[in-house]
Structure 1
């Protein structure tokens, strides 16, 4: 393992443990590759794991990327999360999948149907936080688990097959502020197709996909940044509701 990547992983681990971010200009970032970023993700997961899921980004015109979500950061709804009073937190309402059983081999007949049988649909709120202070290069953000901070997971919906998961009707509020109310598109190819992109990308990265993992598929509402002291409530029509009390600490 390259010394610079091991050093970056060590700094990110320390930042997670102490809450003190790493100055973005104190670590290399401009010449990192995606392979470098994934190597750092794996080192962090080895120390702070296990991994409890993954996120995937499938934005048109951009490389497809992924990041692990640590099991310690996955919360059930309604959740409470205390963060420093001065920190701004990103909030994304998303469709997710919980893996219920080992996934079928790639070459089995009717694989999409068999794959779908291994998954339940869940509403989620992703909490976006960075361990990097200042303006960080994209590959540094990817190394920092694509700035995932936590995940709130709503109730499972096993009977979801046959639904159009490229577009939903949803509502998301933060206190008295409405962040989303109406139709919303899943970025990329739709939630199930995005899951398959993640499956193809992940291989054995950070241990690979396992039963119990949650995979999230892209924000329905962009990325608004909120202050602590806010109650966030989300609902995806026909899927379920999820809630988070974002509390102030210190």
Structure 2
């Protein structure tokens, strides 16, 4: 592990432990994807955490991205999520999958049918978002990945039977906060189809010395966009036919 990886982890851990947010990682910013993932792994290690899944996106014509999710931060809904006084938290409604078997690296890429066959369950999810940067839109994509793309946690809904017969890319998504509808529209996955980033991730990780594993949860990008909200409210997010998730912001 390089000195800059350690320095970047020092900066991000200081914020996680109550220090002020930072403008960026400065000279410790990663210069390649492998280093960004190394920083993610080091932060997880220092927190005594393990990777219980991934968030990923593969939008057409834009950079791909992925981040490991702390297993302890993946919680079943309904759930209560703390929001520090005077602060906001980001919320995003997404479609997530749980893998039923490992997807080890191999000589040929996985096909979409193989990826679908490896999925054990599908359900709605609300990603909780909290960046360690003052302005998360002002850092480089690699710095964002080093900070797990502002991931704070994932609240997941119940597994839905019959999801294989649904057109997941065209479901109506609905998100409310405090009883008010924030988003209601058809589709919205940034990659077009929630299977697209999962397929990309399965084929991309082995080149970085990592693989998807049975039991991991993979969430596939916000269908609602990122909205920042105050605590003390109830958030619901879900999809027609796929159920919803409830989070009470404490």
Measured against the shorter chain, the TM-score band is: 0.7 to 0.9
1:75 aligns with 2:78: no
1:122 aligns with 2:123: yes
1:149 aligns with 2:152: yes
Partner of 1:44: 43
Partner of 2:86: 86
Partner of 2:133: 132
Q: How far did 1:107 drift?
A: 7.3
Q: Are the counterparts in 2 of residues 170 and 180 from structure 1 also a CA contact under 8 Å?
A: yes
| Displaced runs of 4 or more, over 6 A | none
SS at match of 2:95: strand
| Distance verdict in 2 for CA 1:25–1:95, change over 3 Å | closer
How many residues align structurally?
A: 246
Partner of 1:237: 240
Partner of 1:28: 27
Q: Equivalents in 2 of 1:67, 1:117: separation in Å? A: 23
Q: Are the counterparts in 1 of residues 30 and 36 from structure 2 also a CA contact under 8 Å?
A: no
Per-residue CA deviation, residues 192-213 of structure 1 (Å, 9 max, x unaligned), is 1221011122228685321221
Per-residue CA deviation, residues 42-89 of structure 1 (Å, 9 max, x unaligned), is 212233321011011222221111111111111110011112112221
Q: Are the counterparts in 2 of residues 20 and 131 from structure 1 also a CA contact under 8 Å?
A: no
SS at match of 1:161: helix
Partner of 1:191: 194
Q: Are the counterparts in 2 of residues 45 and 206 from structure 1 also a CA contact under 8 Å?
A: no
1:161 aligns with 2:160: no
1:177 aligns with 2:180: yes
Q: Equivalents in 2 of 1:64, 1:230: separation in Å? A: 33
| Distance verdict in 2 for CA 1:51–1:205, change over 3 Å | farther
- Answer with 146-155 or 200-209: which moved more: 200-209
Q: Are the counterparts in 1 of residues 30 and 146 from structure 2 also a CA contact under 8 Å?
A: no
Q: Are the counterparts in 2 of residues 169 and 183 from structure 1 also a CA contact under 8 Å?
A: yes
Q: Give the TM-score, by structure 2 length.
A: 0.87
1:210 aligns with 2:210: no
Q: Equivalents in 2 of 1:26, 1:204: separation in Å? A: 25
Any stretches of 5+ residues in structure 2 without a counterpart?
none
Q: Equivalents in 2 of 1:32, 1:67: separation in Å? A: 16
Partner of 2:61: 61
